Amino acid sequence: MPAASGRMPAADRALARPARRSLAALAALAALLAVGTATVLGLRPPGPAGLDTPADEFSAERAYQHLRTVAAQTHPAGSPANDRVRSHLENTLSDLGLTPELQDTVAGEAGQLSGGSGGATLARVRNVVARIPGTDPTGRVFLVAHYDSVQVGPGGNDDGAGTSALLEVARALTSGPRPRNDVVLVFTDAEESCLCGASAFAADHPLAADGGVVLNLEARGSTGPVIMFETSLRNAGLVEVFGRAAPYPIGTSFAVEVYRLLPNDTDFTAFLDHGFTGLNAAYIDGAAIYHTPLDTPESVDRGSLQQHGANTLALAREFGTVDLTRLPAGGDATYFPLPGGLVRYPGWLTLPLALLALAGVAGLAWAVRRRGRASWPRLAAGFGLALLPVVLAPLGAQLLWAAVTAIRPGYATLLDPYRPLWYRLAVVALAAAVLLGWYALTRRRTGPAALAVGGLGWLAVLGVLLAVVAPGGSYLTVLPALAGMLAGLVALAVPRDGPWPVVAVSAGAAVGVLVLLPTVVLLFPALGMAMGGVAALFAVLLGLAALPVVDLLHPEAGGQRGMAALRARRRGALPALAAALGAVVFAGTGLAVDRFDAAHPVPTHLMYALDADTGTARWLSQETDPQPWTDRYVDGRTRIGDTFPLLGDHELLAGPAEPAALPAPRLDPLADVTESGVRTLRVRLVPQRPVRLAALHVDPATATVLGARVADRPVETTGDPEPDGAAEPPPFGVVFHAPPPEGIEIELRLRPTAPPGTAPTGTFPVRLRAMDASDGLTGLPGFRPRPPGVGIAGSHSSELVAVARSYLL
């Protein structure tokens, strides 16, 4: 009969263990699911505030009224439509009681968005500037957005949203008490062309002379959270204000590290180049419409607009209040979002925490060995094997996307699909399949403890590497490694069959979810599906951080033997198979759902180039695998750098075109002096039709440019070649955006390219190539408009109509 002590018989206890383990697993999963859900929901933009919002608060609906005017039509720099947008800005600011000023000047480019084939890029810019004077200024706060659009789209998001948000911020600021510090509103021109408006303001405007704090508003999509993705160096004080004052503070120091590696620039670049401090923010999801005709006011997510404006208003008030001379600089901060706020700590802690995590995981390995949970050989094997999913998951994600783009080549020219959710789920499912499959294959031979410690070991190692090469991203692996290490030590210290090991490993995994899940979510829109392998990498790292919880689900955990163990191993493979099937289903659903149609057209790229010297014309395209529509115009590949140097010397798809009756730009000689073998030539380049840009290039076979001035501004040149004449003459060109009707005056100091002793004693001939470009292919002979379902690619050269002529002077 049963024992009178009331203790459960051994057989009953054995039967109860799996049930308790299943309940523990379900509880752990429910907890992680709740944490993950809260984390993802914390990244969503707020709801838009209505027209009845109090006057001193930001309203997306009020801002949207401006947006409908700003982005009513395409308005690149220099266009009549851009003049109308500028008038709206000036009138709105005047109605607020401010005194808008027009900075009308010529400026050079900032960053490397444009190029002059070895020379210079400039633009005529007309910035709109208005100052809200402070009561006792300690410095200036600059609120910046650009009001021009690309040549093929109205720029509803980029940057109509930022421009409209600043108008609403200005209204709210002037509705309440004046700030202590000056707040300067800067609406820049020609950002899309060359960042020239920001360059002009930061370099030459009197209000910019003493620097200050810049808040730049951008967009590279149509929806999603506003991410503070770039800062100036030594950002600790700025991040402290951002985390304290912004109502929706989403940003990570890892994003700053990533952005510094990307070949991207915004107006913020120009301000950084001139010593300003500040923050750069944008929303980036929905990037398929970026720089296309679909970037309309209707495409703007008003929740994203609300977050953009509400954060900017709050930061303008906070920076407008504090003593900017006492704003702590320090070093760079480490920071990341959590539901309800922004975690931040000093950057100097990065390397010590990384080393502590590495030492802590090593200590955990020693404790695991001492408790008999794993031998040293198994721990070494666990560490080595844990590298496999870290490598295989990103590789699998890239191969998956290669397969998808092979089926749907139109994705190759998009930053992201129109409806990317299903493909993102496919990558996450694939990463889960790799992790779960790896675990099912290695668990029995290596042991769960060894694999868990091995996974934490790689997190710690990566944390040290990141602390050295990208300190702002080290927290991503260091904090989960520390949490997992502490959880492991607790689990070893408490009774094995009690609830506390489950509680400990669940808490450790929760830290991994809180820290890594936002990065997985934000990396997809930041890098696009073409780099989905990066998101897969961090998804696997999250899985390694949660490996002890994964083990709770494993049917072998009860220690079965023989046939029972074999059946358990087979059951253990089922989650991996289910995840792999999920990846296939998600990718297939994406292909079925995200089809190209009239509302979501396949992007195509086409240009027209007319050589006025020969009277011949060509269709040109930057597509690598031409769409059927483009294929009707191009039939091969060619290099056109000799006849159209502005378009670069790389290969383009090309095909013959019927010449159009388009006038070539005129080149008028103004002055010509040769002294000591150096010829100073001054000319005026005059477009003979409305154009967006004009260019002049010097044939390096005839002369080398020693110096140049454009619109009376000195520009950099590549200088003289080697004295022995062995080096190839450096190229030189000038690209000028938004040229005035009267043309552009260019002065060149030239030396003949011929080797010393063979140049003519008098004036030597110089071959110049003049070129200008307008936008819009409609009306050109042989052009047929795109049918529904065929759209325009988001490129600064889409729909370009170029005309070039040579001049021998």
* pLDDT score for 119: 73
| Percent above pLDDT 70 for the chain | 91
Q: What is the mean pLDDT of residues 420-429?
A: 98
User: What residues have CB less than 8 Å from 330, skipping those under 6 apart?
Assistant: 234, 236, 237, 346, 347
Q: CA 486, CA 514: separation in Å to the nearest integer?
A: 16
For residue 17 the two structure tokens come to 């263990």
* pLDDT score for 262: 75
Confidence grade of residue 3 (pLDDT, cut at 50, 70, 90): very low
- Is a pLDDT exceeding 80 seen at residue 719? no
* pLDDT score for 569: 60
Q: CA 391, CA 396: separation in Å to the nearest integer?
A: 9
- Is a pLDDT exceeding 50 seen at residue 34? yes
448-469 vs 421-446: helix axis angle to the nearest 10?
130
Q: What is the mean pLDDT of residues 720-737?
A: 70
Q: Of the given ranges (144-153, 233-242, 638-647, 735-744), which has the lowest mean pLDDT?
A: 638-647
* pLDDT score for 216: 98
List, in order of start, the domains of the chain with CATH numbers. Answer: 17-41+347-593 (no CATH), 60-338 (3.40.630.10), 605-809 (no CATH)
- Is a pLDDT exceeding 60 seen at residue 10? no
Confidence grade of residue 22 (pLDDT, cut at 50, 70, 90): low
Instruction: Write the secondary structure of 399-424 as one string of H (helix), E (strand) and C (coil).
Output: HHHHHHHHHCHHHHHCCCCCCCHHHH
Tell me the per-residue pLDDT of 351-361, one tens digit each, with 9 for 90 and over.
999 999 999 99
Confidence grade of residue 112 (pLDDT, cut at 50, 70, 90): low
* pLDDT score for 755: 60
Confidence grade of residue 14 (pLDDT, cut at 50, 70, 90): very low
Q: What is the pTM of this model?
A: 0.93
* pLDDT score for 496: 81
* pLDDT score for 393: 98
Query: Position 785: which residue type?
Result: P
- Is a pLDDT exceeding 60 seen at residue 6? no
Confidence grade of residue 15 (pLDDT, cut at 50, 70, 90): very low
Confidence grade of residue 720 (pLDDT, cut at 50, 70, 90): low
For residue 605 the two structure tokens come to 């790229």
Tell me the per-residue pLDDT of 691-710, one tens digit each, with 9 for 90 and over.
999 999 999 999 999 999 99
- Is a pLDDT exceeding 70 seen at residue 193? yes
For residue 540 the two structure tokens come to 């696997």
Q: What is the mean pLDDT of residues 230-253?
A: 96
Nearest Cα to Cα of residue 749 among 673, 672, 679, 670: 679
Please return the burial class of 178, using the count of CB atoms within 10 Å of its CB with bins 0-12, 13-18 and 19+.
middle
Parallel, antiparallel or unpaired: strands 678-686 and 744-752:
antiparallel
Q: CA 571, CA 562: separation in Å to the nearest integer?
A: 14
Tell me the per-residue pLDDT of 541-552, one tens digit each, with 9 for 90 and over.
999 999 988 887
Q: What is the mean pLDDT of residues 508-527?
A: 96
* pLDDT score for 4: 45
Mean residue pLDDT across the chain: 91
Tell me the per-residue pLDDT of 131-172, one tens digit each, with 9 for 90 and over.
999 999 999 999 999 999 999 999 999 999 999 999 999 999
- Is a pLDDT exceeding 50 seen at residue 12? no
- Is a pLDDT exceeding 70 seen at residue 555? no
* pLDDT score for 759: 47
Where do the H-state alpha helices sit in 371-386?
A: 376-385
* pLDDT score for 731: 81
- Is a pLDDT exceeding 50 seen at residue 737? yes
* pLDDT score for 117: 57
Decide which of 761 and 537 is more confident: 537
* pLDDT score for 499: 82
Tell me the per-residue pLDDT of 357-373, one tens digit each, with 9 for 90 and over.
999 999 999 999 999 99
Residue for token digits 């209204």? 171
Tell me the per-residue pLDDT of 455-491, one tens digit each, with 9 for 90 and over.
999 999 999 999 999 999 999 999 999 999 999 999 9
Q: What is the mean pLDDT of residues 171-195?
A: 96
Q: What is the mean pLDDT of residues 230-256?
A: 95
Q: Are 501 and 557 in contact (CB under 8 A)?
A: no
Q: What is the mean pLDDT of residues 500-528?
A: 94
* pLDDT score for 9: 54
